[in-house]
Structure 1
């Protein structure tokens, strides 16, 4: 007996949910001040950019195929989006009996993701050029 995790229905359902979420974010237009999407809690409480600041605007840009703007809003989130798509595709293919390399099983993946997130957090807070341009 196979589990739902081994069925292609699971990655298809997750993918459908992700696409619907991205379309909802795009429709809500996170670039509109005072819109439906609230301000980042870290930015609202502390006045600083967190590693995820700009991710909603980045998602909106990706749904509109404005890749340069997406990178400008949050380059790390663009990279993580690519990695998540890769992991999702590897999962989908695995449920279909095919294989492809998957970065999530690599030994140092969690450490690299953590270090990249920490470095991105610090770099975006540096008050001098060229780092000051990373603030959104």
Structure 2
């Protein structure tokens, strides 16, 4: 609805701005992600001294769900998906999920439709369970194939 509010300011419907205006935030997010991948692609996490070590791994010897994530991102930045999967398969799935969600966001923005991620309790519990199972399995003897 177009109209005037109590402060005499023009009120517009969501999604009625310019396409470039609606794409500003997704473009900014993509720029940040590309910048992060470019940095990790240029500064090799396989070389000691560039990044801090995982405190959980350092103190306990237990791989957290993020262990190997930087090496995985480095491999993706260099186009080596197999190495990325070997470093952290869950991170690679996360990169794919990000790509899908970002694409849906852009398509909805171009069409002038709102985009909102609102996971319910079932989705949040499922995500937590996935992280927990991944962490436990990668630290068991038979889960050695999930070690970074």
Same fold (TM over 0.5): yes
How many residues of Structure 1 are paired with residues of Structure 2 in the alignment? Answer: 129
Q: 1:10 aligns with which of 10, 13, 25?
A: 25
CA distance in 2, matches of 1:98, 1:109: 27
Q: 1:85 aligns with which of 95, 99, 114?
A: 99
CA distance in 2, matches of 1:18, 1:106: 22
The reply to whether residue 135 of structure 1 matches residue 144 of structure 2 is no
Alignment partner, residue 128 of structure 2: 114
CA distance in 2, matches of 1:64, 1:55: 14
Contact 1:28 1:37 in 2 (8 A): no
**Higher helix proportion, which one?**
1
The reply to whether residue 71 of structure 1 matches residue 85 of structure 2 is yes
The reply to whether residue 20 of structure 1 matches residue 35 of structure 2 is yes
Task: State the 1:98 CA deviation.
Answer: 6.8
Contact 1:31 1:57 in 2 (8 A): yes
Alignment partner, residue 3 of structure 2: none
CA RMSD of aligned residues (A): 2.3
Task: State the 1:47 CA deviation.
Answer: 1.9
Task: State the 1:77 CA deviation.
Answer: 0.9
Alignment partner, residue 55 of structure 1: 69
Contact 1:71 1:78 in 2 (8 A): yes
Contact 2:69 2:91 in 1 (8 A): yes
Contact 2:23 2:110 in 1 (8 A): yes
